[in-house]
């Protein structure tokens, strides 16, 4: 700047006046930063011009540059691949696949599959794209239980929890054990698992010989003990009776088992119910009555038999029906056995044994009666003459509880209070005073209260009502116990009070104290 001009600007600053500019003189610079001076402020954004869009030529140049870069990258990769041995190239193809021409495919494969979003999701496209960028959540291979410290609950300082302690060592329980203890207390108070809390799952497939179906009495549930369950001899029907004063008939279809009819007997808890040999009648006795109810299924009438002439029993409970349908055998007190005509319900005669009658049954031809006494002896009676044909001691038995004969007339099974089931040959029981059993089954440890042969004499079912899951199936003639029944881990059988096989052994039914009539399909037999 010339000295004259610099001096003049200093004088103007002192006086506060602007420097004078000669007329007609214009600055040599445009709007912007002056030469040597501070830059001027930019124009407001509203007055700015938008940047010019790239032209088609610029876009074509960018595409050509990207294509050239991809070509160079491919050339370098091929040049590097030529130096690799064949083994390394083969290994890369096995691990990464053939992705030489598509690097995006390799990146997608390494990233892993994305979680498929629902089409009807309310999220926007941006949100769905953001969600898809996250890797999927994977479950851990295993979890170390020691890493998770269980929180202990004090049982002593809570008056409600203190009553649930079984011993002094349970002053503290984990949360899982406390949950199990509370569930046990609830089931004990309710007398079992309520129907609304039952979670039963049907098996879809099984390699076992038996498969559990729906409960036979699912359409008429009850909590009373099932005292009798029996299949109809001629129709695909099962009868269920219990201490709830009712006899119910169900159609057996293996799925829902629809109810056909229920017969309610007022103030008559049923001790035993049984079909007649021809299946036209149902007989029922009570736990504290001498009345015998007969239900005519064809006429739909209920006939009470209040008194049998000559029968002096105050309570009629246990009875047996002969296979040919001619006789009805009633177990009395003081060792008496009363034989009645099935058609007229009249007394034919009585037989007496020493001690108490524990159980009785007919032979397969209905000509003989086998009676087990309370002192461990077995009596064989002739039905027509009502004379004792033989008497022998059940080996190792102190107290007889049950007895059964096979349909083919080959075996006699005797159950005792010590849990032993002796299987005899019927011929030896008729001829020998001290017969030896073919086999002694010792798989139960409590008194054997139920014995049943299947119609083909290939299976003997034994059970005890004194212990849960105490039921076994014995194969004949090998006299070996089936190892796949019952399934102990399921624990659905509980205390068994009655059992029966269907006419062709296709089904096996159990009745327990929880009011459930469990029915199992035996796949070895094709028919009902």
Transcribe 144-181 into DSSP letters. Answer: -GGGSPPPEEESSS-HHHHTT-SSGGGSEEEHHHHHHH
Cα separation, 282 vs 184, in Å, equals 39
**Residue 83 CB contacts under 8 Å (≥ 6 apart), including other chains:** none
For residue 331, list its beta bridge partners.
337
CA nearest to 298, candidates 283, 279, 312: 279
Q: Which two tokens stand for residue 308?
A: 């049998």
Q: 508 and 461 in contact (C-beta within 8 Å)?
A: yes
Cα separation, 521 vs 470, in Å, equals 19
Q: Which two tokens stand for residue 519?
A: 């029915």
Q: 470 and 477 in contact (C-beta within 8 Å)?
A: no
DSSP code, position 409: S
The helix or strand, by DSSP H or E, that contains position 411, with its residue range, turns out to be: strand 411-416
Instruction: Indicate the pTM of the whole model.
Output: 0.62
Q: Report the relative pairing of strands 421-425 and 411-416 from DSSP bridges.
A: antiparallel
Q: Report the relative pairing of strands 421-425 and 439-441 from DSSP bridges.
A: antiparallel
DSSP code, position 46: G
Q: Which two tokens stand for residue 115?
A: 């979680």
Strand, coil or helix: 342: coil
Residue stretches of the chain with pLDDT short of 50: 11, 15, 17-19, 22-39, 41-47, 115-124, 126, 130, 201-209
The helix or strand, by DSSP H or E, that contains position 391, with its residue range, turns out to be: strand 388-393
Task: Estimate to the nearest angstrom the gap between the alpha carbon of 82 and the chain centroid.
Answer: 62
Cα separation, 498 vs 471, in Å, equals 11
pLDDT at 247: 96
Q: Which two tokens stand for residue 347?
A: 């007394």
Q: Which CATH class is domain 307-482?
A: mainly beta
DSSP characters over 484-527? TSS-TTT----SEEEEEE-TTSSEEEEEETTS-EEEEEETT---
pLDDT at 223: 92
Strand, coil or helix: 371: strand
Q: 366 and 409 in contact (C-beta within 8 Å)?
A: no
pLDDT at 54: 54
Domain boundaries, the chain: 211-295+487-527, 307-482
The helix or strand, by DSSP H or E, that contains position 441, with its residue range, turns out to be: strand 439-441
**Residue that is written with structure tokens 């239900």 in the block:** 295
CA nearest to 492, candidates 514, 476, 475: 514
Q: 314 and 334 in contact (C-beta within 8 Å)?
A: no
Measure the CA dihedral 385/391/394/400, to 10°: 50
DSSP characters over 238-251? EEEEETTSEEEEEE
**Residue that is written with structure tokens 């007055």 in the block:** 47
**Residue 255 CB contacts under 8 Å (≥ 6 apart), including other chains:** 213, 214
**Residue 152 CB contacts under 8 Å (≥ 6 apart), including other chains:** 172, 173, 174
CA nearest to 510, candidates 494, 498, 528, 495: 498
**Residue 250 CB contacts under 8 Å (≥ 6 apart), including other chains:** 216, 217, 219, 220, 237, 238, 239, 240, 257, 258, 259, 260
Cα separation, 477 vs 437, in Å, equals 13
């Amino acid at each position: 700047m010339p000295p004259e001009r610099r001096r003049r600007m200093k004088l103007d600053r002192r006086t506060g006046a602007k420097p004078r500019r000669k007329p007609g003189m214009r600055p040599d610079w445009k709007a912007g930063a002056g030469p040597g001076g501070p830059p001027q402020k930019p124009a407001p954004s509203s007055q700015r011009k938008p940047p010019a869009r790239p032209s088609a030529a610029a876009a074509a140049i960018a595409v050509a540059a990207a294509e050239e870069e991809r070509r160079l990258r491919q050339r370098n990769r091929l040049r590097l691949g030529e130096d690799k041995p064949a083994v390394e190239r083969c290994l890369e193809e096995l691990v990464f696949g053939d992705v030489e021409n598509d690097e995006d495919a390799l990146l997608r494969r390494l990233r892993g599959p994305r979680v498929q979003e629902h089409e009807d999701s309310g999220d926007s496209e941006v949100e769905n794209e953001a969600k898809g960028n996250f890797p999927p959540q994977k479950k851990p291979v295993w979890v170390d239980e020691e890493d998770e410290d269980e929180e202990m609950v004090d049982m002593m300082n809570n008056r409600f929890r203190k009553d649930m302690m079984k011993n002094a060592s349970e002053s503290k329980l984990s949360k899982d054990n406390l949950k199990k203890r509370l569930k046990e207390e609830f089931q004990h108070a309710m007398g079992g698992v309520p129907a609304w809390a039952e979670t039963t799952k049907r098996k879809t497939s099984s390699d076992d010989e038996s498969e559990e179906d729906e409960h036979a009495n699912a359409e008429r549930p009850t909590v009373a003990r099932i005292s009798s369950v029996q299949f109809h001899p001629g129709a695909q029907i099962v009868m269920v009776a219990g201490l709830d004063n009712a006899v119910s008939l169900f159609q057996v279809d293996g799925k829902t088992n629809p109810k056909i009819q229920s017969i309610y007997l007022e103030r008559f808890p049923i001790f035993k119910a049984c079909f007649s040999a021809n299946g036209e009648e149902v007989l029922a006795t009570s736990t504290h009555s001498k009345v015998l109810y007969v239900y005519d299924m064809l006429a739909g009438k209920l006939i009470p038999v209040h008194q049998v002439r000559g029968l002096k029993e105050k309570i009629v409970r246990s009875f047996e029906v002969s296979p040919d349908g001619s006789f009805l055998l009633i177990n009395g007190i003081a060792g008496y056995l009363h034989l009645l005509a099935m058609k007229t319900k009249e007394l034919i005669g009585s037989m007496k044994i020493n001690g108490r009658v524990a159980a009785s049954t007919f032979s397969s031809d209905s000509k003989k009666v086998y009676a087990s006494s309370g002192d461990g002896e077995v009596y064989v009676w002739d039905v027509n003459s009502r004379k004792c044909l033989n008497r022998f001691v059940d080996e190792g038995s102190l107290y007889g509880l049950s007895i059964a004969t096979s349909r083919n007339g080959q075996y006699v099974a005797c159950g005792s209070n010590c849990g032993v089931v002796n299987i005899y040959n019927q011929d030896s029981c008729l001829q020998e005073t001290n017969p030896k059993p073919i086999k002694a089954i010792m798989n139960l440890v409590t008194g054997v209260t139920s014995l049943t042969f299947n119609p083909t004499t290939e299976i003997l079912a034994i059970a005890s009502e004194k212990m849960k899951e105490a039921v076994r199936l014995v194969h004949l003639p090998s006299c070996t116990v089936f190892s796949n029944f019952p399934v102990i881990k399921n624990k659905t059988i509980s205390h068994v009070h009655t059992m029966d096989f269907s006419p062709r052994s296709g089904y096996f039914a159990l009745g327990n104290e929880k009011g459930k009539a469990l029915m199992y399909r035996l796949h070895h037999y094709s028919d009902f």
